[in-house]
Structure 1
Amino acid sequence: MTAGSESLRALGWKQRELPGFAGRFGPLWTLKEEHGWAYGVLAQEEHLNPAGAVHGGALTSLLDHALSAVAWQLLDRRPCVTVQLDAQFLDAAASGDFLVARGQLIHATGSLAFLRGNVSVNDKLVVNGSAVMKIRTPKN
């Protein structure tokens, strides 16, 4: 999807201001869906690699954020940190594309969460991935 802020808002997306690194790879957009959340970034020039495609680091940052947010939401809002992130790059994305990441929790133990997800543009898969997240105990 080639979209602007107003068209994203019209579709129900909400722009989020996040602290730290998560606030730098966006701006991040969120959409509540029937079975969870979708996370989006409108690709711009600063997201591109020297070849003119969206940089793999930008794509994996979005995927990592989406999967950790899914884990956080489904595991009683306990913080999670990435132990392993695997990504398979299937296609390129360009400036102006709206990148959408979705994920799902596959399994959780007392200390680890296993997830899979993807990043797409207009339902075209750009990245497939999986992650192992360490479930942390919040400090009091």
Structure 2
Amino acid sequence: MTFDPVTAGWKQRHGQGPFTRIVGPVWVRREEDGSSTYGLLAEERHTNSRGVVHGGMLMTFADHMLGWLVWDAVERRACATISLNNQFIGAVKPGDWMEMRGRIVRQTRSIIFVQGEAKVGERVVLASEGIWKVLGVD
């Protein structure tokens, strides 16, 4: 049986650009503490030649999720990824429901450092850390 995000209480993340609409949909769930968890249902179209989700797709998911975390933290001002490092820890297969959470490690006026972790169930599949620049702020 395939996971259905709608019946599980997830909402599709709106405001996605054209690229995200191609690789998504990406889902969001607001947590009791006010933070967000993001979800993606892995599909066959996300896979590589070995039949597991392509590393580029995992990095795309991390870039979007951490970027939204930053965007919310800077009151929805424009920002851009400066650096994104990823460690591929486990495979994701079509039909897997992947969830990702992140946190801000350090924030200056114009630079934000973040970390995130993606899981399938309790199994960590990706660890990410990145740096974002708030645009228009020196």
The reply to whether TM is greater than 0.5 is yes
The count of aligned residue pairs is 135
Question: Which ranges of structure 2 fall in alignment gaps of 5 or more residues?
Answer: none
Q: Which moved more, 1:10-19 or 1:84-93?
A: 10-19
| Map of 1:3 onto structure 2 | 3
Identity %: 36
| Map of 1:133 onto structure 2 | 132
Residue identity opposite 1:115 in structure 2? V
> Distance between the aligned counterparts of 1:115 and 1:100, measured in 2?
17
> Distance between the aligned counterparts of 2:78 and 2:120, measured in 1?
28
Structure 1 stretches of 4+ with a deviation exceeding 6 A read none
| Map of 1:39 onto structure 2 | 38
Secondary structure at the aligned position of 2:6 is classed as: helix
Residue identity opposite 1:78 in structure 2? R
Please give the TM-score of this superposition, normalised by the length of structure 1.
0.90
Residue identity opposite 2:97 in structure 1? F
- 1:69-88 to 2 correspondences below 5 Å: 69-88=68-87
| Map of 1:122 onto structure 2 | 121
Q: State the shift of 1:66 in Å.
A: 0.6
> Distance between the aligned counterparts of 1:105 and 1:46, measured in 2?
31
Residue identity opposite 1:67 in structure 2? L
| Map of 2:95 onto structure 1 | 96
- 1:49-60 to 2 correspondences below 5 Å: 49-60=48-59
Secondary structure at the aligned position of 2:3 is classed as: coil
Q: State the shift of 1:108 in Å.
A: 1.0
Please give the TM-score of this superposition, normalised by the length of structure 2.
0.91
Superposed CA RMSD: 1.6
